[in-house]
Amino acid sequence: MKIGFIGLGIMGKPMVRNLLKAGHEVVVYDIIKKNVEISVSDGARAAESSKAIAEECNLIITMLPNSPHVKTVVMGENGVLEGAKPGTILVDMSSIAPLVSQEVEKACAEKGVKMLDAPVSGGEPKAIDGTLSIMVGGDKAVFDEVYDVLMCMGSSVVLCGDIGAGNTTKLANQVIVALNIAAVSEAFMLSTMAKVDPLKVFDAIRGGLAGSTVMDAKVPMITEGNFKPGFKIDLHIKDLNNALETGHSVGAPLPLTAVVMEMLQNLHASGCGQDDHSAIAKFYEKLSGVKIRK
């Protein structure tokens, strides 16, 4: 199948690579030319604009930073809707506000374009492995059409409800991840300051009720002082901002989310915005003057 792919950042490039490995023809576009060159070297073909991709591809995937970027790429000048034919399917795999997904889907429907919102979880490692968790919102018939393509990039693809449900599910995921990293950081700071080896604590509790995928992924990074981004602090700020705005719109109380948001904002102000979100541990290290290290 010929697939258009727009957005070749940390996540997009390995996702394209997995589509190519599965035998699909992929036409790519990104405003950063170096990213395009990398995907072309992997076997993709470059297009000159989002509109150009839509003119030749009946299935288009977008993987972009936030709501405004999706609106520009889809609805803006030289955007997807300027080139798309009726019957085209757009799968937006960006993590954006659910209400924006609904707004973009409405504009697509007016042009006869079908849309799903399908954000992902798993960060760069799972994008590379092709084992992302993909949360989808939209029409089931459209979902069924693209399911096999999505499975080239993920190990779990779940239809969560109507358009916007994918991004609502992703916001729930991001709340849990952020709070989990904060809890891990707090607990391992406690053990470190009590002079108990954090790796011994990790080995002792990871198989019990406190164990989690987050703990398994982030404790080794924290104890090694390795904050190379798989998912950046600044991107998690974006997601929690969308979660808080969505919570306000539906009346959902999110007090713990608000607290962790303040931690992330403090880290951003300290120059850590491009670090991995495991750098929430740095917030505790700054408060205590002690580093959580093996």
User: Which residues belong to the active site?
Assistant: 170
CA–CA separation, 84 and 221 (whole Å): 43
Amino acid identity of residue 22, one-letter, is A
CA–CA separation, 235 and 294 (whole Å): 28
| DSSP 8-state secondary structure symbol assigned to residue 276 | B
CB 228 within 8 A of CB 276: yes
Please give the backbone phi and psi of residue 154, each rounded to the nearest 5 degrees, phi first. Answer: -140, 165
Please classify residue 137 by burial: count the beta carbons closer than 10 Å to its beta carbon, then call 0-12 exposed, 13-18 middle and 19+ buried: buried
CA–CA separation, 59 and 174 (whole Å): 27
3-state secondary structure of 201: helix
3-state secondary structure of 156: strand
CB 57 within 8 A of CB 18: no
CB-based contacts of 116, cutoff 8 Å, min separation 6: 89, 90, 91, 92, 136, 137, 138, 139, 142, 143, 146, 163, 166
CA–CA separation, 176 and 45 (whole Å): 38
CA–CA separation, 75 and 148 (whole Å): 27
Tell me how far apart the 2 most distant CA atoms of the chain are, in Å: 64
Please give the backbone phi and psi of residue 60, each rounded to the nearest 5 degrees, phi first. Answer: -125, 130
